[in-house]
Amino acid sequence: MAFIGVEKTTFMNFKFLIISVAIISVAIISGFAGSVFAQASDVCGEWKDDVCVYWIPEIYLPIKEFSQEEIDEMKQKAVLIKMHEGTFMIEFFPEDAPNTVRNFLQLVESGYYDGTVFHRIIPGFMIQAGDPNTKDPETDRSLWGQGGPDYQIQQEFNTLQHDRGIVSMARSAHPDSAGSQFFIVAKDSPHLDGQYTAFGRLIPGLPQHLDHIASLTTDSNDAPLDLLQATIKTATILDPYTSANISIPDRNQSIIKKVRNPTGDSKTVYHNSLHSITFDVPYRWELTEATGKQFGVIMEPDFTEHNAKAQMEQSGFAPKVIVTAEPRDLREDAGVSTAFFSVEGGDDPKIISNYVFESDDGRKAHLITTTQDLHGTEKGTVQFKIIQLTFINSEFQYSIIYVNVTEWFRYELSAFTQTVDNFEIMIDGRIQPINFDDNPIFKTLIAIAKEKPEPESLPPARIGGCLIATATYGSELAPQVQLLREIRDNTVLQTQSGTSFMTAFNQFYYSFSPAIADYERENTIFKETVKLTLTPLLVSLTLLQHVDIDSEYDMLGYGIGIILLNIGMYFVAPAVLITKIRSFYKLQ
């Protein structure tokens, strides 16, 4: 796959590529203490008669959003760590890990680190400190490495490379288990990148005590034998501090990570620091970065996306969302590029819709929908449908493109809208959302794109898959099933409880669904019976579109309610009816 120009782009490939990524991780903390949270940091989930019914631990709350002023304020602070014979001077990167920097500064200010020991020393790797269990020399050394404050903070993995001198948070196996323990990298350790929260570094150009501490003699558990040399005498904040910017820390080009959104739910986010681009990766989709100087990524459903599997087996093509960025053509006088994407080797594109519109803040976007026939594939002539959103900033032209075969186009359109909804680029010197998804033109064209195309071909024979989708295919319930898929992606899967339930449900459901789906295709009467049986279930599930789900507790409440409703319809009501009938005949 390659990106060629702005009008012709080679992406067509009917072979499926599986990319294996080997990830090497190092457990920085061994046997970290269990999940204990500070009551003072918790938030009450429900009050009743001025009494809190239950508390929500801070770890489950969304990460605090910091203003630019707050980040700048933290940037103007440094920390001086005094040892017995030397010092460490640390500067911070609050733009990458603001919550972690704030937590570290608060601990320093409180004197938390005074008297703690660099309790884990691995020459040629790193030195680690911050465990309050090390303050008392009489403490059992087997407990070193297990202590921390009575709370944990959420990860803020970023693109900073774990090079020599970087300061990063230690944690246990769970990403959100850091507290107070930190480590200083003694030798470049790229296997830690994206796995631990780097938040500062030893200030370049100043004398540092790193090599001295890293060379101390240790026992079999990597603990120092000379505690005097390894003990932090004091840690103090230097304010104000101005970085000399002697060197800029090296960064990885991009990172994909799980983050919590403002509602407390988790999502997968892609961030490219080189091109200053951030967006959400659709659920159960995988991302591949293009090689070369210009930015380009291709996203397509992974092997767990069962709904797209049937389409790919029938059409031989995986739906794709493509994101590109290239230097802006300053000759464009429309305020946005009007070039568009097309399939290499296909007929000339036929334009279905073509609009230029503005966001509320005056930025222009070009939204175009086309179809294009490609001949000579293994499936004969295939018609593709393409929707593309193009926009610019002061330097670059960006495009978000969704490509799929026409008859299946509407089914994965939500992947395109999710990418647009959460897309952020550099605007006026900072990363900001593009805000095109709320425009009436955008909403109208997306609504039109979701409409059922005419005519629509029959479903493929014997491909297994989803028994619900097969039973309702081509019927009056098909739009309802599509609506349920959107509710699943945009509501249920945006909560941790919903994601856990769907994971367990899918494992059970797809253990028998393909066999039933195949039999539905063979027996029309059986298919209609299944459809009739499923109708009450589908109707009950659509109730979720009429409620506001703003938290895990809302999801659990409505989810349990719908489960109980279906138990009543499918088991309790028939049982009561059968009992009544039996009683009636006994009386006769």
- State yes or no: pLDDT of 469 exceeds 50: yes
One-letter amino acid of 560 = I
Among 317-331, 449-463, 571-585, whose mean pLDDT is lowest?
A: 449-463
Residue with the bigger pLDDT between 555 and 416: it is 416
CA angle at 423 for the pair 421 and 429, rounded to the nearest 5°? 135
pLDDT one-digit tens code per residue, 1-34: 323 233 333 333 333 222 222 222 333 333 333 3
- State yes or no: pLDDT of 114 exceeds 90: yes
Residue 17: which residues within 8 A CB-CB, separation 6 or more? 288
Kindly state the average pLDDT of the residues 228-252.
Answer: 90
- What region, left, alpha or beta, does residue 376 occupy, with left being phi > 0 and alpha being psi -120 to 50 degrees? left
pLDDT one-digit tens code per residue, 199-222: 999 999 888 999 999 999 999 999
pLDDT one-digit tens code per residue, 369-399: 999 998 888 888 889 999 999 998 888 899 9
**94 closest CA partner among 76, 82, 119:** 76
CA distances from 485 to 306, 308, 415, 480, 495 (A): 12, 12, 12, 9, 15
246 touches 205 (CB < 8 A): yes
pLDDT value at position 79?
A: 97
Kindly state the average pLDDT of the residues 417-444.
Answer: 90
pLDDT bucket at 36, cuts 50 / 70 / 90: very low
Averaged pLDDT score across all residues of the chain: 81
- Percent of the chain scored above 90 by pLDDT? 38
Give the chain's domains with CATH numbers.
39-238 (2.40.100.10), 254-457 (3.40.1000.10), 460-588 (no CATH)
- State yes or no: pLDDT of 446 exceeds 50: yes
pLDDT value at position 577?
A: 81
Burial environment of residue 179 by CB neighbours within 10 A (0 to 12, 13 to 18, 19 or more) = buried
Rounded Cα distance between 163 and 159, Å, is: 12
Query: In this structure, what DSSP letter does residue 29 have?
Result: S
Residue 203: which residues within 8 A CB-CB, separation 6 or more? 78, 89, 90, 91, 243, 244
Kindly state the average pLDDT of the residues 82-102.
Answer: 94
Q: Which of 28-32, 97-101, 571-575 has the highest mean pLDDT?
A: 97-101
- Percent of the chain scored above 70 by pLDDT? 81
- State yes or no: pLDDT of 57 exceeds 60: no
pLDDT value at position 45?
A: 60
The torsion of the CA quartet 201, 205, 209, 213, rounded to 10 degrees, works out to: 60
Rounded Cα distance between 185 and 188, Å, is: 7
pLDDT bucket at 460, cuts 50 / 70 / 90: very low
pLDDT one-digit tens code per residue, 281-335: 998 899 998 877 789 999 999 888 877 887 888 888 899 999 999 888 776 655 7
pLDDT bucket at 187, cuts 50 / 70 / 90: very high
pLDDT value at position 587?
A: 66
pLDDT bucket at 127, cuts 50 / 70 / 90: very high
pLDDT one-digit tens code per residue, 470-496: 777 777 777 777 777 767 766 676 666
Helix/strand/coil for 339:
coil
Residue 79 main-chain phi, psi, to 5 deg: -125, 135
pLDDT one-digit tens code per residue, 249-271: 998 888 888 876 655 667 889 99
pLDDT value at position 168?
A: 97
pLDDT value at position 540?
A: 81
Q: What is the DSSP string of 250-307?
A: PB-SEEEEEEE-TTS-EEEEEEETTTTEEEEPPTTEEEEEPPSSSEEEEEEE-TT-HH
Long-range contacts of 494-497 (CB under 8 A, 24+ apart): 494/261, 494/263, 494/265, 494/267, 495/263, 495/265, 495/549, 495/551, 495/552, 495/555, 496/264, 496/265, 496/266, 496/552, 497/552, 497/555, 497/556, 497/559
pLDDT bucket at 588, cuts 50 / 70 / 90: low
- State yes or no: pLDDT of 78 exceeds 90: yes
Q: What share of the chain is helix, strand, coil (3-state, %, to 5)?
A: 30, 25, 45
Is 0.85 surpassed by the pTM of this model?
A: no
266 touches 287 (CB < 8 A): no
